[in-house]
């Protein structure tokens, strides 16, 4: 598949996999993906498995990501993880503003922006998540919601920092529900996001920006989604917990 931008497919393992289970999964992925160069592959295990997975992917093309981080560099923030701590384990990417954290931890766009700035200060690449609920979509609010989230979550970033930022469009109604946006719905949302990025950062930056789709991505729908002009990869949840499923998504995307 000839894409203007290199695809980036990331597996968000969420609160799954012990360190031993994570190593077994990565071992399987390394075998399955040994010859894959056309896609940037990222795995995002829980914090407790980062050290072991970092060693396991060291001499492979798989990159390591984290699922969250603090906006602070250090201090009295019990239970939080700083960007510098992630860097110690050769983490390259960090997911910020996932819908589950927006919903359950009440994370605001302002907080996500602070985290994005902290990530860039540590030379980590944020994967910033945005997306609407079913009620918002059915109410014709998709564009309004995305505009608010993107303006707020990316506030203050420079075009250069945006070049090192990945966006993930995840319609909340399609996460873990078995439903997914049609390829046309995904393309519509991604095209709108790119138009908004052009307004905020300029046409050239918007053209370079990589926008993932997240929401019940499976081997069976990966190709159709990735063929869309403005879809530049996937943020994969449940299907990334199985080496064969995740590998098939990647192979079907090429």
Cite the active site residues. 98, 170
CA 57, 253, 126, 89: dihedral to nearest 10 degrees? 0
Burial 205-231 (b: 16+ CB within 10 A, else e): bbebbbbbbbbbbbbebbeebbebebb
For 28, phi and psi rounded to 5 degrees?
Answer: -65, -40
Distance CA 174, CA 30 (A): 29
CA–CA–CA angle 152, 195, 124 (5° rounding): 50
CB 54 within 8 A of CB 89: yes
Give the DSSP letter of residue 57.
T
Take residue 185 and report the two structure tokens written for it: 């719905």
Query: What is the greatest pairwise CA distance in the chain?
Result: 48
Asked whether 205 and 159 are in contact (CB, 8 A), the reply is: yes
How would you label 31-58 residue by residue, b for 16+ Cβ within 10 Å and e otherwise? ebbeebeebbbbbbbbeebbebbbebbe
């Amino acid at each position: 598949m000839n894409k203007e931008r290199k695809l980036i497919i990331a597996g968000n393992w969420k609160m799954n996999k012990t360190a031993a289970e994570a190593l077994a999964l990565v071992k399987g992925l390394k075998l399955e993906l040994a010859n894959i160069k056309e896609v940037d592959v990222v795995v995002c295990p829980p914090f407790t498995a980062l050290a072991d997975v970092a060693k396991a992917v060291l001499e492979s093309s798989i990159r390591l990501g984290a699922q969250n981080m603090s906006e602070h560099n250090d201090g009295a923030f019990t239970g939080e993880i700083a960007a510098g701590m992630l860097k110690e384990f050769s983490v390259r990417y960090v997911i910020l503003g996932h819908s589950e954290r927006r919903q359950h931890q009440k994370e605001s766009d302002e907080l996500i922006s602070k985290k994005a700035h902290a990530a860039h200060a540590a030379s980590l690449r944020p994967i910033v998540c945005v997306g609407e609920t079913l009620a918002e979509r059915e109410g014709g609010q998709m564009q309004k919601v995305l505009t608010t989230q993107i303006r707020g979550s990316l506030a203050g970033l420079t075009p250069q920092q945006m070049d090192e930022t990945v966006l993930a469009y995840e319609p909340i109604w399609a996460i873990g529900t078995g439903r997914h946006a049609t390829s046309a719905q995904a393309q519509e949302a991604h095209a709108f996001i790119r138009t908004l990025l052009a307004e905020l950062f300029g046409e050239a930056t918007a053209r370079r920006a990589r926008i993932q789709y997240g929401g019940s991505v499976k081997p069976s729908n990966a190709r159709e989604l990735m063929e869309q002009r403005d879809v530049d990869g996937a943020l994969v949840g449940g299907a990334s917990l199985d080496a064969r499923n995740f590998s098939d998504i990647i192979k079907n995307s090429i």
